[in-house]
Structure 1
Amino acid sequence: MDHFLYRDGALFAEDVPVSEIVAAVGSPVYIYSTATLERHFKLFDEALAGMDHLVCYAMKAASNQAILKTLAALGAGMDVVSGGEYARAKAAGVPGDRIVFSGVGKTDEEIRAALTGGIRQFNVESEPEMRAIDRVAQTLGVVAPITVRVNPDVDAKTHEKIATGKSENKFGIPIAKAREVYAEAASMKGLKVIGIDVHIGSQLTDLEPFRLAYRKVAELTETLRADGHEISRLDLGGGLGIPYERGNSAPPLPVEYGSMIKEELGHLGCEIEIEPGRLIAGNAGILASRIIYLKEGEGREFMIIDAAMNDLIRPAMYSAHHDIVPVQEAEPGAEQQPYDIVGPVCESGDTFAKGRMMPKLSEGDLVAFRSAGAYGAVMSSEYNTRPLIPEVLVKDDQFAVIRPRPSFDEIINRDTIPEWL
């Protein structure tokens, strides 16, 4: 469920007409709903009720300060994957003991910043990284809390570019090597082992891969405890999918996911961490765009809009589907026709949909990409010197620009000309 609904034929974001936001801010524009962000976080929090747990928002999905502050106010932790994301979480007021540091390429500088500023744990991805954390921690005279990310070799049955739990993926340590790696960690003076980490991929629409991975984690927990390790925390990652295409079968609900976690891991008495990102932010955002031209092609009609692949790269990168709807609702039974919906960037890949059936529209009309709150603005660029588009947050009948659109002068003036020119 989200809070982008039609009222009297007009698409609203909570209690604000989308057309009113576009009139004030321009297009294209990202629009987020506070009510949807809050609702989706609470669904995960409630799903784990009765267990010691922390829901850490995977902020790579959408990392604007206003979004982070909205979730932090509800008690969310943060899952970060870079020094920049760590700095963003801290700037949003999230205390270090609620920040989990993931990612396969942590640098000494990033490790030092987290140990100095406070960290809940590092999710260690490799033996070299583990040794680096130990070295930096000892230099600082502190002890770093860690979990080790194990790769359970489970097929998440998702897009190959967002699968992370198979043996050929770059993430984590093969689960068969876990005892050896944990033994080495226990010998290091700068580390304190507190648990196990696992994450098998993103946009999963079936609970079975999770179940298979978590059973392997449960077995490993018992084995490591028998070896003398303290395993008090299980970081289960994120990955639960969202319904990008309405009318198709819906992915499992957070409450079903929570019940499965309790079934598979509840007997271990561990604190549970989960790291949802897409399911919290995805349906909490839309991308509004205006039609520039309708162009007759060879046996097709192109809808050329002012949003482009640099604003929303998921379709070009993952062949991802987004429902695209008119901001002014069509009359019931209105005639539909196929459009190839494309942007103005000089790349054939700047295509959002081919043969998409939509009501007949006109130049100047507004359309909205649904489920655009995750991996939209955060993956955008200024390719073709197209300014990053504004982000707007709505709360009830109010809205605020939370990232303005830069001017061309601001973009160009970031360049530095060498003195020999």
Structure 2
Amino acid sequence: MLPEVGFQKKNFRVYGISGKQKQLLDADTYSVSPAKVPAHGHSVTVEVSSKAYPDIKAEITVLIDRDESVRYKIGRENPDDVEAILYSNGDLEISGKGSVRNFKSDSAPWKKDSVKRLTWIDPEAEVESMDYWFTGNDEYLETLCRIPDTVRSMVETFKNATAMTSMPDMSGAVRLEDITSCAEGCIALEKAMELPGNIKQAKKAFYGDTALIDGADTTACMQLENMDSMYYGCMALASVQIPDSAKELSNICNGCVNLKEVHIPSSAQKMNSSFFGCTALESITGEIPSSCTDSGNLFSGCKFLSGTLTVSCTSKTTLSSSFSDAATAGTGLTIILRYDAEKSQETANTGFYGGTKSADEILNALKASMEAAFSSGSHITITTNADKTEG
């Protein structure tokens, strides 16, 4: 059926069945929803219901007719096996059976054409990579189909798609591992999506998305390790989820001035400038683990930081610049320095505090270096709690 055309009763033959009898119903006895064919998409589900008995209803899927503009042969082993079809209304569909070829940056065959929506991927088309599919396409608006379970990589898929307002449904993409820069520079995007559990790499996934309010749902993520610069410069970001699997967190929320609460994952290793300039940040959950070896400017400029934060330390821990210009307002922050018992047999010779230092001496030296770096207006109290085992 043609898009934006109203459904006519003459388009349907509706029968009522009673026992073994089937009778063609008069058009006045039933209603059809929706009233019009959608302007975009592969198909539409039409519901036909009885006016006298609204609970009696049936559904039918109707294909949407559109004018083709161009076809691209994209099969991997045999180019003719799979085609990408671009319609005159900007819809792009993937049709065919077999594996789909991968593309390098700027090499997608529809790169210079006016693609506005991805509306359908044939279940028999085996798409493994959607890398660079719509990179730099400032006309691209939305994805109307789910990302299939064959997809493993979506690097820069929508990078700088400045008109895109929503992310696709990725919940069924169970093999997806890499979304590096997937939606970087999507300045109209306000909400992220649910990430599937197999994701490992999300570096710069939403970098510079200045309208983004809600970060990605990472509830299912058990393997996500790299979140480097994932939300860098997302000025409107109000909520973010960080799973305990995350290790690389450098610049993850740098400059997110509307973020009020964050969680520090137990696996964190690199947190350089993670929350630099998050001027609204007040609350921290979790602890800084002893595995974190890089925390320069971690909370620099977080002037309302308050509550209590525990830091598990080793002889390699440095925190002198982690709280620059932090907790200068609000109720104040208490930092508890605790020596990691599992690291107690490390010799101080491998660390930063000289040879043959006890845990107490290392914690006191760390405390002194931090206090020397605090600004005069900081409301930060440091306590130490050496927790070591005898070798």
TM-score range, shorter chain: under 0.3
User: When the two structures are superposed, what TM-score results if normalisation uses the length of structure 1?
Assistant: 0.25
User: When the two structures are superposed, what TM-score results if normalisation uses the length of structure 2?
Assistant: 0.26
Please state which structure has a larger fraction of its residues in strand: 1
Please state which structure has a larger fraction of its residues in helix: 1
